[in-house]
């Protein structure tokens, strides 16, 4: 299963242009599912993403859409948690790992920082992968892009796609 993961697109509040590089890459890669970790900011973007694959999104601090704060889903044998991250005072690895354990997930996807982050941690005998796909439109001290999660049973491989 291939899952495209994006965040912080800010379509409609910081730009009126749909993220053409993201949409072009989604067309090439044909994911089975798209996850958006918040700051979508427009229903038009969600509609555009739905043209490529079923899309699940959570609400970010800039969103005024009727989206959940967080979501847990299963992809094959992997439990994935999805949230934006603005709810927390700090987005440090220890705090996010504890949140992942609280949610009962193997992978915790978050956004808010507009920067790519990927690391695995073990805490209390549990392994957790933290993933921030960055932003395809407004990266902060990072390259613009998104992530493809390749899920095969319990195995998860992260592929970062950058535009420049």
- Tell me the backbone φ, ψ of residue 104, rounded to 5 degrees: 70, 40
Within 10 Å of residue 157's Cβ, how many Cβ atoms? 9
Q: What are phi and psi of 26, to 5 degrees?
A: -60, -40
| pLDDT score at 76 | 97
The reported pLDDT for the residue numbered 163 is 93
Instruction: Report the chain (164 residues): mean pLDDT per 10 consecutive residues.
Output: 97 78 95 97 95 98 96 98 90 91 97 97 91 96 96 97 92
Note the pLDDT of residue 52.
Answer: 97
Strand partners, 130: 108, 119
pLDDT of residue 12: 77
Q: Which domains does the chain have, with CATH numbers?
A: 2-162 (3.60.21.10)
Write b or e for each residue in 35-67: b if 16 or more Cβ atoms lie within 10 A of its Cβ, otherwise e: bbbbbbbbeebbebbeebbebbbbbbebbebeb
């Amino acid at each position: 299963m291939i899952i495209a993961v994006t965040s912080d697109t800010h379509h409609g509040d910081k730009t009126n242009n749909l993220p053409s590089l993201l949409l072009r890459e989604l067309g090439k890669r044909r994911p089975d599912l798209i996850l958006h970790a918040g700051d979508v900011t427009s229903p038009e973007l969600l509609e555009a993403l739905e043209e490529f694959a079923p899309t699940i999104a959570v609400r970010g601090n800039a969103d005024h859409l009727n989206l959940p704060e967080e979501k847990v889903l299963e992809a094959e044998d992997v439990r994935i948690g999805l949230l934006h991250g603005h709810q927390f005072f700090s987005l440090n690895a220890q705090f996010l790992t504890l949140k992942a354990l609280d949610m009962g997930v193997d992978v915790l996807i978050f956004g808010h920082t507009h920067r790519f982050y990927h690391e695995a941690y073990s805490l209390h005998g549990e392994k957790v992968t933290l993933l921030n796909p960055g932003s395809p439109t407004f990266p902060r001290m990072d390259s613009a892009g998104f992530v493809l999660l390749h899920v095969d049973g319990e195995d998860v491989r992260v592929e970062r796609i950058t535009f420049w």
